[in-house]
Amino acid sequence: YVGQVLADARVYSTYASKPAVDLADARLAIQSRANEAFSQVPPRDFLLSLAAKKNAVPLPVVPSEYGVRLPPARNTLTAANYQAPGRVVGRNARDTLAATVTADDDEEVKSKSRKRKTMDDDPYQPHAGVTEDDDGGAKAMDM
């Protein structure tokens, strides 16, 4: 810091066409370094008045149909598309997993796979009259 202040004082004295650096040049160099290094924070009352003026203007209302409309949640890829198996404890993983699946669970899975879902009521599907197959594929309905 001292070396930089003395270098600045020498620049000021050569600019003033002085043969040597004097006390006034050193003071000027110190003041210029202090102004660069330390900035004065505005008083708290001043900042509060600025904040009150800025916050007096309300934010604009965001329209309900702003941006891109997303399809219903069932048609997005945000839902989990997997089922985690139960915790395997025994040596034979197949026997342990088979023991965790009950008859009720198996019947529920079968009944869900039998249901067909029509897409006629979905505005995001381009073709009306298309149903999902048991394996998730689409097939045309007879009209």
* 61-77 residue pLDDT tens: 877 777 777 777 777 77
Q: How far apart, in Å, are the Cα atoms of 104 and each of 70, 99, 110?
A: 36, 12, 10
pLDDT above 90: percentage of residues in the chain: 20
Long-range contacts of residues 33-37, Cβ cutoff 8 Å, at least 24 apart: 33/1, 33/4, 33/5, 33/8
The residues spanned by each domain of the chain are 2-42
Global pTM?
0.29
User: By CB neighbour count within 10 A (0-12 exposed, 13-18 middle, 19+ buried), where does 121 fall?
Assistant: exposed
Q: pLDDT class for 50, splitting at 50, 70, 90?
A: very high
pLDDT surpassing 60 at residue 90: no
